Structure 1
Amino acid sequence: MDQRPNYITPAGFAALRAEYDQLFGIERPALVETISWAAGNGDRSENGDYIYGRKRLREIDRRLGWLSKRMKAARVVDPADQPDRTRAWFGATVTIADEDDARRTVTLVGDDEAEAGAGRIGWNAPLAHALRGSAVGDLRRVALPAGEREYEIVAIAYPITSAPNNRRQAGS
């Protein structure tokens, strides 16, 4: 099992919890009802509703197990509470510029909430590793699939505050 902490923002933890609640509280019970109805229709070997329902139920149960493990291992870190806002740490939104002065803004988030297309990169991604601890003006070199690149840190920002409803510790 992975020994690295599973850092996650309060919003990321809330998204995992919402998906878990949706699957466990709504989708799974409805599917169990459909499977029961289909089983009552007789021959199960050619019953599409029954076969598909059982397959989908296994998928949901696997996903619920994965979500449960990830939430138990989660260490919720609120980026708004970062004491050192001069350096790029978890939750920082960092603007970087490459050798061609092409700028890109990324936010360092938990691996479970990463979405590169939206500018959210996982804490353990190569670019995030290179940016960790950097300050404005620093140059960082990173090995990417397209080759090695050098980036200058142009700006670092953190959220001012988070919503009080999202302040929740993992496992509580």
Structure 2
Amino acid sequence: MRTPLITRTGYQKLTQELDHLWRVERPETTRKVTWAASLGDRSENADYQYNKKRLREIDRRVRYLRKSLENLKVVDYSPEQEGRVFFGAWVSVENDSGEQKRFKIVGYDEIFGEKDHISIDSPMARALLKKQVDDEAVVRTEAGEFVWWITAIEYEKPTGKD
């Protein structure tokens, strides 16, 4: 089960995506389907077939976004988080081999298309929660146990605009 949390930025992105799909893409695709249907034989009409499929994809995504946005809890930055790893933190880690990683701990819906974001439900994030700089985190996965040290923790502070 996914933890129903999201950052304010992530929530705004999903809201913008929903708005764009509903107000721009769906009406445009509906017009294309109507135009293609008016041409006659739908079984061999590529425009009709493609746009009808695209309309189903849009509708599926709109349903998903509406349901998700309804159930997600927005987690804003709090000064009490400073110094420890919590939801929304940018965390830098290093292992014994000197390999370094930096990523932000976010909700499931925010990781797609972002190579430097990890889900709060991932083994790495779970191992890091509540830890401080210089703490050791043992990450347990199907591939084995991996040890990482926290080298930095940062939070994006709100700009005061909203």
TM-score between the two structures when normalised by the length of structure 1: 0.86
- Correspondence for 1:119 among 99, 116, 120: 116
More displaced 10-residue stretch of structure 1: 112-121 or 126-135 = 112-121
- Correspondence for 2:133 among 127, 136, 145: 136
Whole-Å Cα distance in 2 between the matches of residues 145 and 82 of structure 1? 35
Q: Which residue of 2 aligns with 1:31?
A: 29
Whole-Å Cα distance in 1 between the matches of residues 27 and 81 of structure 2? 46
The letter of the residue matching 1:40 is S
Percent sequence identity is: 38
Structure 1 residues 13-162: aligned runs within 5 Å? 13-79=11-77, 81-115=78-112, 118-144=115-141, 146-162=143-159
What secondary structure does 1:118 align onto?
Answer: coil
**Unmatched runs of 5 consecutive residues or more in structure 2:** none
Q: Which residue of 2 aligns with 1:164?
A: 161
1:9-47 per-position Cα deviation (integer Å, ceiling 9, x unaligned):
111011101111111110100111111111111111211
Give the conservation status (yes or no) of the 8 Å contact 1:139–1:152. Answer: yes
Give the conservation status (yes or no) of the 8 Å contact 1:115–1:121. Answer: no
Give the conservation status (yes or no) of the 8 Å contact 2:26–2:55. Answer: yes
Whole-Å Cα distance in 1 between the matches of residues 155 and 79 of structure 2? 8
Deviation at residue 101 of structure 1 after TM alignment: 2.5
The letter of the residue matching 1:126 is P
1:43-82 per-position Cα deviation (integer Å, ceiling 9, x unaligned):
1121111111111111110011111111111111112x24
CA change 1:141–1:112 in 2 (3 A) is: same
Whole-Å Cα distance in 2 between the matches of residues 50 and 120 of structure 1? 38
Aligned residues: 162
What secondary structure does 2:130 align onto?
Answer: coil
Give the conservation status (yes or no) of the 8 Å contact 2:3–2:107. Answer: no
Whole-Å Cα distance in 2 between the matches of residues 108 and 90 of structure 1? 6
**Unmatched runs of 5 consecutive residues or more in structure 1:** 166-172
Deviation at residue 154 of structure 1 after TM alignment: 1.3
